Structure 1
Amino acid sequence: MDAARVAAGVRAIAEECTKPGAKFLDIAGTIESEVVKQGGKNAFPVNISINDTAAHYTPCIGDETVLGEKDIVKIDFGVHVEGCIIDQAFTVDFGGENGKLVEAADAALADALAVMKAGVSVKDVGAAIQNAITSRGFKPIENLGGHSLEPYILHAGEEIPNTAKGSYVLQEGDVFAVEPFATTGAGRVDEGTYCEIHSLVNPKTVRLPQSRRVLEYILEEYKTLPFAERWLADMLSTSSIEMVVNDLVRQGILHSYNVLKEINNGMVAQSEVTVIVEKDGVKNLC
């Protein structure tokens, strides 16, 4: 699978550029450029989520945020080749105070993959994730989970939960991103106000010429995959991007991905790979 080959090469670059003092914009730019350099396209903007932020933070135009020496950071990136997606993530604990939390997320992923095969209920996979995390003294984030993947569809309808719930039975050939989230907090996330990521959900005729031009570009370049507002910087000024995106969101054409934060400000760790379900197990594509 070409996307898997690209993702494997990008992972090493992602780990190398994720270090204290690095700007979020530089990290995202390096990873996203490397995806293209290696022959793929970005399936979504690089997520750089620190501490109690679980997901959906990607830098905006002019973002001066830098990684701190005590941050725990989740790097979540996606690669696609002709719509076939690889989604993976890793967590780095710079301060050394949350190493056990990172271990819990990694162990939960390993235990999930160990039980996954055709005929297994996602409830059993969620139970394995939950047990791995709670047995180490942490909580799984119950309203986040892994997800099925289809060409050009990042969240294709089925879920791998972080707790023992769900009725879907895994089928041979299913493709899933499996991503346990572990936290020191309450085990739930809620939306924050910051939002830089959007995706096309309901294309239709629009009146404003600028909105029409951007919509045509999104359809051509990203289809239904998420994109960052900063990816439109070559087309429009920052103020025009905000106006057009707000117009398209207001009309229900775009879906917005607000940043997700742990409700009790707990630290969060994430571990993720993409797999294909087989008769007697899974094939890890990362």
Structure 2
Amino acid sequence: MIVKTEADLEGLKKIGKVVANCLQYMARSIEPGMTTKELDELGGKFLEKHGARSGPMLTYNFPGYNCISLNHEVAHGVPSSQKQILRGDLINIDVSAELDGYYADNGGSFIIPPGKAADQRLLDVTKQALEAAISIVKADAYINMIGYQIEKVATENGYTVIENLGSHGVGRGLHEEPKFIAAYYDKRDKRKLKEGHVITIEPFVSTGARVVDEEPDHWTLVAGREHRTAQFEHTMVVLKDRALIVTIPDPV
């Protein structure tokens, strides 16, 4: 999507705020022993309360309101009454939703206390990778510099990036142009960002995995059980000289 009017911008800000607040509400609501389905239902009720509809459910008929991934699950985890959240788990929550014809996408990884220092470091570096990528966003910037920044931060800290998951355009649909923005430097990608482009940036940084595989449920993407992977994601509008992030939650 290319933002062309003030109404476009306001619509994106409105849904951006909803998904950001939903993500933080779900993170605060986690209790050891609850299932991912119970957590998902809390998120679904939050979206409904604010007039929004689940993006993956609306677009892909996903079997849940939100993607919730545990431990070796990296992305698109299906909420289940059989998946219990335990102390020390690493959980990723990805909230995307639609409101008044506009979509926004926001994700984050969290540790269920008591956590390990190694997991916290992984989360910290993933946030740094996201921030580094956002810092280069502006009109006419090369899209492949997003992946360059993510890969640089990850490798300098001894981590890998998941190469078959990437960022993407968003706005009037959940996945739009520019399609697949790699999390690594792809010298063949000559695309440039345009002023008004609406994109996500979502690095997946891992302790050693480089690709994910699909589980038999045809949704959940996993790496080896020996690896931990974290993700953080924002939706933003490309301005002349910077990124305008729309997925900023209200202060608690």
Would the TM-score normalized by the shorter structure come out above 0.5? yes
Q: Deviations over 1:39-81 (max 9, x none)?
A: 2111123111111211111224xx2321111211101011211
Partner of 2:145: 124
User: Within 5 Å, which residues of 2 pair with 1:221-260?
Assistant: 258-260=219-221
Query: Are residue 171 (structure 1) and residue 194 (structure 2) matched?
Result: yes
Deviates more, 1:263-272 or 1:160-169: 263-272
User: Within 5 Å, which residues of 2 pair with 1:43-192?
Assistant: 43-44=55-56, 45-60=65-80, 63-94=81-112, 95-96=115-116, 97-165=118-186, 166-192=189-215
Aligned-partner residue type, residue 58 of structure 1: V
Q: Deviations over 1:78-125 (max 9, x none)?
A: 121123111011111232241111111111100000011111111111
Deviates more, 1:148-157 or 1:103-112: 148-157
Partner of 1:268: 229
TM-score of the pair, normalised by structure 2: 0.83
Quote the sequence identity (%).
Answer: 25
Q: Does the residue aligned with 2:66 lie in a helix, a strand or coil?
A: strand
Shift of 1:167: 2.3
Aligned-partner residue type, residue 29 of structure 2: C
Q: Does the residue aligned with 2:92 lie in a helix, a strand or coil?
A: strand
- Contact conserved, 2:104 with 2:171, CA < 8 A, in 1? no
Measured on the aligned residues, the alpha-carbon RMSD in Å equals 1.6
- Contact conserved, 2:94 with 2:107, CA < 8 A, in 1? yes
2: CA distance, partners of 1:148 / 1:9: 21
Shift of 1:31: 0.6
Structure index of larger Rg = 1
Write out the 4+ residue segments of structure 1 that deviate beyond 6 Å after TM superposition.
Answer: none
Gapped runs of 5+ residues in structure 1? 196-257
1:190–1:167 distance in 2 versus 1, CA, 3 Å: farther
- Contact conserved, 2:196 with 2:238, CA < 8 A, in 1? yes
Aligned-partner residue type, residue 93 of structure 1: I
- Contact conserved, 2:234 with 2:245, CA < 8 A, in 1? yes
2: CA distance, partners of 1:173 / 1:156: 12
Shift of 1:158: 2.1
TM-score of the pair, normalised by structure 1: 0.73
Q: Does the residue aligned with 1:98 lie in a helix, a strand or coil?
A: helix
Report the structure, 1 or 2, having the larger strand content.
1
Partner of 1:193: 216
Aligned-partner residue type, residue 142 of structure 1: E
Which of 40, 57, 69 lines up with 1:28 in the alignment? 40
- Contact conserved, 2:20 with 2:106, CA < 8 A, in 1? no
Shift of 1:265: 4.2
1: CA distance, partners of 2:207 / 2:226: 9
Gapped runs of 5+ residues in structure 2? 1-12, 57-64, 248-252
1: CA distance, partners of 2:155 / 2:141: 22
